[in-house]
Amino acid sequence: MSALMAHPLKASRKLDTKQGDPLNGHKGVLLSDGNQLLSMRMALCQALYEEMKRDPTIFVMGEEVAQYNGAYKVTKGLLDEFGAERVIDTPITESGFAGLAVGAAMTGLRPVIEFMSWNFSFPAFDQIISNASKMCYMTGGMFPIPLVMRGPNGAGPRVSSQHSHAVEALYSHFPGLIVVSPSTPYDAKGLMKTALRQNNPVCFLENEMLYNYEQDIPTSEYLIPFGKGDIKREGTDCTIVAISRSVHWALEAADELAKEGISCEVVDPRTIKPLDIELIANSVRKTNRCVVVEECYKTGGIGAEIATQLMELVFDDLDAPVGRVTTTENPMPYAANLEHETLPKPHRIVAAVKKACYR
Amino acid sequence: MIIEQLVPAKSPTMTEGTIVSWRVKPGDKVKSGDVIAEIQSDKAVVEWEVLDGGTVAEILIPAGTMAQVNQVAAIFTTKGDEDVKAAVAKAKETNAKLAPGGAAPAPAPAAVAAVAATPVPAPVAAPAAAPAASAPAALAKGVRVSPVAAKIASSLGVDLRAVKGTGPDGRIVRRDVEAAAKAGTAKLGAPGGAAAKPEKPKLKVLRADGANSDVAMTPMRQIIGKRLLEAKTTIPHFYVSESVDAGALVALREQVNLLDGFKVTVNDLIVRASALALRAHPKLNATFQNNSIRYYDSADISVAVAIPDGLITPIVTKAHTKNLKQIGDEVRALAKKAVDGKLQPAEFQGGSFTISNLGMFGIAEFVAIINPPQVAILAVAGIKDEPVVKNGAVVPGKVMRLTLSADHRAVDGADAAAFMKTLRELLEAPATLLV
């Protein structure tokens, strides 16, 4: 059973602020059923906290991660708990601290670096592509790079063209990187813990617009393996593959489509690389139709990759061409109405699913 | 380097031919000596081996199309950086020039257009419009069907030809197949169902002149027409007929065929007899070469073979050196190849004398047109039971009539008569054919 079905999202519910400062930090709000209520940012913080407790080689580094508790408060309370040696504020030098992290990883430490936004990873592109992802290979396995690079990805609220990039297709392109992009607090925590226990560089793509999503999740420890997708909603007529924030748009669209008698299955790959194409293919074998939703651009996007792999795997099961709902191929406009039309929002997903279903 | 592959003349008389099939496609690498296509010449389907290898860049004459000799059929490159586009443009220009009528780029459609331009007066109003209406139908695309609809159709027993698609451009999608399966309207192989007669029966249009159809001449029919018209109108034919008492011949054939593995025919005996007679009368074993006559030592006998929509004359070479079994085996092998369209040019080009035998139809007598540049042809009729006079008495006999057509430019009546006399003597004393 899907974690989302077991632990439904509570996007509208506000955490009870009377119980300390639950909006931030690693402490969840304990619920009577033994679960805890966590927002996405708290789930990430809890994963970091638990793993840093467990493994003294893990340290966090980035712009404003320590004294300011992180630009999005994901690292809230970590400085107090683990001290300035393990929670380090850096200057505005992405290339510098990314390189530092690769070096630290080579010495056996487990760095976690925060890009305030993945838009700012571009100055560090060379460190990520040429060093982090290649070092293990170049040294014949002598220097694995257990590095977690994390931060918000995709469009924020009206942050215009330079700060709205979705980088999952970009970083998935290069061999040597694991690319993770969770859509729920449950998935985020389980995947972050896995990222902190393995030896390859991970691009951990969060989403600013999901940090406040809340979910009841277990207090007991769990991990989610890479390369294992999750069915967020079961259906019979059309598979919607969606990533990160798009999962929520897809679920919204599925609600809309259900009213018209179209039953959608929403599949969340959770990790883009490695990709759980078998889960997607099995879903399409059942529904015969597929629409991929993502915040990347259409050209060379994740949808292009999934559509191609589906064609290779389940060509004979397709009733319609695989649809793609992506960010339209223009720089993100500042205007809210134009931003709405640029992003793969539910109304565009509904149209694409109807087309795939010949409705 | 750009290499233009020109349509070759695969027989001395070939001026055009059909590219039956291509064995290569753009992108293929071809070595010198590789077969790149099969061409229907005026005589047979022959393989086209190329002299210059390279990479196939473009095929200009599609399979099934009539091509003129020396038209550019394909363009090869030897390096990757050539300007293929320019070469294609140039080749198309060349091909247009070589096409019948000069500028007309496509000979076949031109011919069709000519037929259409002189229509038979339409007897009924409706059929007149039929050709125009049928044209788009011929261009209509095949059944469009989604992969999964195609997959489930057979398991649900649905005949896709009888399903109406509701997807874009009439694409048959899953729901259409499922609906058809539920309704049972398009059962696979249902007798009398929609599936059983997916195509409308074609209405035959009656023409005022009672003609059935106009069929374009095949390359072979065209060449037969051209060559025999030339032969009949330019060669001064004369004819010498002879009756042969074939009683002994028939008896000999029956005796020989008692041997295991022997299946000698009357035709084999005639080929053998003709070869011996030609050696005795070399004036008939010749070809006419405009200002000279070429005589041959070897009796290379062309045997006319009927093949679908035409005829061809494979050659029994050095027939005078071969015994009856060798001749018989050879003729049958050549005839089979001829019918299969597999004769190689060397097997039907040349020859010094031709035999045309219609005996198997029981024909009483006929005359043949000389096969140029040869100077004589023997027409062989059937063996008939007829009264013959022997030793002053009329007795039942078997008679075969032979008619020699000869070219008076090379052969005179006395030569032809002497040849026929020898031939008759050999056939009436057929033991001579065994030695």
Q: Do the Cβ atoms of B149 and A317 come within 8 Å?
A: no
| Range with top average pLDDT, A24-28, A177-181, A215-219, B309-313 | A177-181
pLDDT category, A105, cuts 50, 70, 90?
very high
Specify whether B159 is located in the same domain as B246: no
| CA distances to B64, B92, B96, B109 from B103, in Å | 21, 11, 5, 13
Residues of A whose CB is below 8 A from B147? 315-319
Specify whether B64 is located in the same domain as B140: no
Domain limit, last residue, from A165, A188, A218: A218
Specify whether A285 is located in the same domain as A214: no
| CA distances to A292, B16, B86, B95 from B106, in Å | 48, 13, 20, 9
DSSP code string of A290-303: EEEEEEEESTT-HH
Specify whether B229 is located in the same domain as B268: yes
Of A317, A318, A358, the CB nearest to B166: A358
Give the count of alpha carbons within 13 A of A115, CB side only: 30
pLDDT of residue B44: 78
Q: What's the pLDDT tens digit per position in A143-169?
A: 999 999 999 999 999 999 999 999 999
Model ipTM value: 0.73
Q: Is residue A334 part of a domain?
A: yes
Residues of B whose CB is below 8 A from A318? 146-148
Q: What's the pLDDT tens digit per position in A55-79?
A: 999 999 999 999 999 999 999 999 9
Q: Is residue B319 part of a domain?
A: yes
Amino acid at B202: K
Specify whether A152 is located in the same domain as A286: no
Amino acid at B62: P
| CA distances to A329, B252, B323 from B259, in Å | 88, 12, 14
Q: What is the 3-state secondary structure (H, E, C) of A20-41?
A: CCCCCCCCCEECCCCEEEEEHH
B151 interfacial to chain A (CB closer than 8 Å):
yes
Q: What's the pLDDT tens digit per position in A279-327?
A: 999 999 999 999 999 999 999 999 999 999 999 999 999 999 999 999 9
Q: Are B288 and B375 in contact (CB under 8 A)?
A: yes
Distance CA B302, CA A81 (A): 107
B146 interfacial to chain A (CB closer than 8 Å):
yes
Of B148, B166, B168, the CB nearest to A288: B148
Specify whether A345 is located in the same domain as A317: yes
Kindly report the nearest CA distance between residue B102 and chain A, in angstroms: 47
Q: Is residue A224 part of a domain?
A: no
How much is the average pLDDT of B262-270?
Answer: 92
b (16+ CB within 10 A) / e for A283-301 = bbbebbbbbbbbbbbbeeb
Report the DSSP beta bridge partners of residue B301: B316, B353
Q: Is residue A223 part of a domain?
A: no
pLDDT of residue A332: 96
Active-site residues of A: which are they?
94, 163
Pairing mode, if any, of strands B286-289 and B305-307? unpaired
Domain limit, last residue, from A218, A243, A266: A218
Helices (H), B246-402: 247-256, 266-280, 324-340, 345-348
How much is the average pLDDT of B339-354?
Answer: 90
User: Dihedral (C-alpha) A67, A69, A75, A77: value to the nearest 10 degrees?
Assistant: 80
Q: Which residues constitute the domain of residue A189? A: 3-218
Q: Are B431 and B269 in contact (CB under 8 A)?
A: no
Specify whether B279 is located in the same domain as B180: no
User: Hey, which bits of B338-418 come out as E strands?
Assistant: 353-357, 376-390, 393-407
pLDDT of residue B199: 57
Q: Do the Cβ atoms of B147 and A319 come within 8 Å?
A: yes
pLDDT category, B322, cuts 50, 70, 90?
very high
A358 interfacial to chain B (CB closer than 8 Å):
yes
Specify whether B266 is located in the same domain as B385: yes
pLDDT of residue B114: 37
CATH number, domain containing residue B147: 4.10.320.10
Distance CA A53, CA B166 (A): 61
Q: What's the pLDDT tens digit per position in B5-47?
A: 999 887 777 888 888 889 898 888 888 888 899 888 877 788 8
Least confident of A31-35, A199-203, B287-291: A31-35
Residue B101 burial (CB < 10 Å; 0-12/13-18/19+)?
Answer: exposed
Amino acid at B392: G
Q: What's the pLDDT tens digit per position in B167-200?
A: 888 899 999 999 998 888 777 765 444 444 455 5
Q: Is residue B201 part of a domain?
A: no
| CA distances to A36, A204, A250, B48, B89 from A295, in Å | 30, 15, 12, 56, 46
A12 interfacial to chain B (CB closer than 8 Å):
no
Number of compact structural domains in chain B: 3
Q: What's the pLDDT tens digit per position in A268-285?
A: 999 999 999 999 999 999
b (16+ CB within 10 A) / e for B176-200 = bbeebbeeebbbbeeeebebeeeee
Specify whether A188 is located in the same domain as A297: no
CATH number, domain containing residue A211: 3.40.50.970
DSSP 3-state of B118: coil
Q: Are B263 and B335 in contact (CB under 8 A)?
A: no
Specify whether A202 is located in the same domain as A239: no
Specify whether A59 is located in the same domain as A182: yes
Q: Which residues constitute the domain of residue B355? A: 219-434
pLDDT of residue B193: 43
Specify whether A19 is located in the same domain as A138: yes
Query: Is the link from the previous residue into A274 a cis peptide, with omega within 30 of 0?
Result: yes
Specify whether A167 is located in the same domain as A278: no
b (16+ CB within 10 A) / e for B143-172 = eebbbbbebbbeebebbbebbebebeeebb
Q: Is residue B157 part of a domain?
A: yes
pLDDT category, B327, cuts 50, 70, 90?
very high
Kindly report the nearest CA distance between residue B58 and chain A, in angstroms: 29
Q: Are A236 and A242 in contact (CB under 8 A)?
A: no
pLDDT at position B429 over 90? yes
Distance CA A97, CA A76 (A): 20
Q: Do the Cβ atoms of B146 and A320 come within 8 Å?
A: yes
Report the DSSP beta bridge partners of residue B237: B407
∠ CA B341-B344-B350, rounded to 5°: 115
Q: Are A266 and A240 in contact (CB under 8 A)?
A: yes
b (16+ CB within 10 A) / e for A1-10 = ebbbeebebe
Residues 6+ apart with CB under 8 A from A53: none
Distance CA A294, CA A305 (A): 12
Q: Are B408 and B293 in contact (CB under 8 A)?
A: no
Q: Is residue A130 part of a domain?
A: yes
Q: Is B351 left (phi over 0), alpha (psi -120 to 50) or beta?
A: left
Residues of B whose CB is below 8 A from A358? 166-168, 173, 175
A202 interfacial to chain B (CB closer than 8 Å):
no
Model pTM score: 0.54
Chain A nearest-CA residue for B166: A358
Q: What's the pLDDT tens digit per position in B100-115?
A: 766 444 433 333 333 3
Residue B73 burial (CB < 10 Å; 0-12/13-18/19+)?
Answer: buried
Specify whether A122 is located in the same domain as A207: yes
Chain A to chain B Cβ contacts (< 8 Å): 28
B156 interfacial to chain A (CB closer than 8 Å):
no
Q: Is residue B185 part of a domain?
A: yes
Specify whether B81 is located in the same domain as B146: no
Q: Do the Cβ atoms of A320 and B151 come within 8 Å?
A: no
- The owner of tokens 């024909």 is B363
Specify whether A189 is located in the same domain as A327: no
Specify whether A108 is located in the same domain as A146: yes
A261 interfacial to chain B (CB closer than 8 Å):
no
Q: Do the Cβ atoms of B146 and A318 come within 8 Å?
A: yes
Chain mean position to CA A9: 16
Chain A nearest-CA residue for B165: A358
Specify whether B266 is located in the same domain as B228: yes
Q: Is residue B40 part of a domain?
A: yes
Nearest CA among A353, A189, A170, A345 for reference residue A272: A170
Specify whether B184 is located in the same domain as B245: no
Q: Are A240 and A293 in contact (CB under 8 A)?
A: yes
B152 interfacial to chain A (CB closer than 8 Å):
no
Q: Are A41 and A33 in contact (CB under 8 A)?
A: no
Specify whether B344 is located in the same domain as B394: yes
Distance CA B312, CA B146 (A): 50
Give the count of alpha carbons within 13 A of A314, CB side only: 24
Q: Do the Cβ atoms of B174 and A319 come within 8 Å?
A: yes
CATH number, domain containing residue B91: 2.40.50.100
Chain A nearest-CA residue for B169: A358
b (16+ CB within 10 A) / e for B400-435 = bbbbbbbbeebbeeebbebbbebbbebbeebeebee
Distance CA A104, CA B119 (A): 90
Specify whether B241 is located in the same domain as B306: yes
Kindly report the nearest CA distance between residue A237 and chain B, in angstroms: 11
pLDDT of residue B356: 96
Q: Is residue A92 part of a domain?
A: yes
Residues of B whose CB is below 8 A from A320? 146, 167, 173
b (16+ CB within 10 A) / e for B364-381 = eeeebbbbbbbbbbbbbb
Q: Is residue B209 part of a domain?
A: no
| CA distances to A118, A194, A297 from A204, in Å | 10, 11, 19
A288 interfacial to chain B (CB closer than 8 Å):
yes
CATH number, domain containing residue A264: 3.40.50.920
Q: Is residue A36 part of a domain?
A: yes
Q: Are B299 and B422 in contact (CB under 8 A)?
A: no
Least confident of A52-56, A203-207, B179-183, B230-234: B179-183
Specify whether A179 is located in the same domain as A242: no
| CA distances to A236, A254, A291 from A348, in Å | 20, 12, 11
Specify whether B34 is located in the same domain as B174: no
pLDDT at position B131 over 60? no
CATH number, domain containing residue B370: 3.30.559.10
Residues 6+ apart with CB under 8 A from A145: A102, A105, A106, A132, A133, A135, A136, A199, A200, A201
Least confident of A112-121, B113-122, B392-401: B113-122
Nearest CA among B14, B46, B372, B38 for reference residue B223: B14
Number of compact structural domains in chain A: 2
Sheet of A148-152, strand order: A87-89, A58-62, A110-114, A148-152, A202-206, A178-180, A271-273
Q: Is residue A331 part of a domain?
A: yes
Q: Are A145 and A100 in contact (CB under 8 A)?
A: no
Domain limit, last residue, from A156, A187, A218: A218
Q: What is the 3-state secondary structure (H, E, C) of B327-344?
A: HHHHHHHHHHHHHHCCCC
Q: Is residue B270 part of a domain?
A: yes
Specify whether B231 is located in the same domain as B173: no
Higher pLDDT: B91 or A137? It is A137
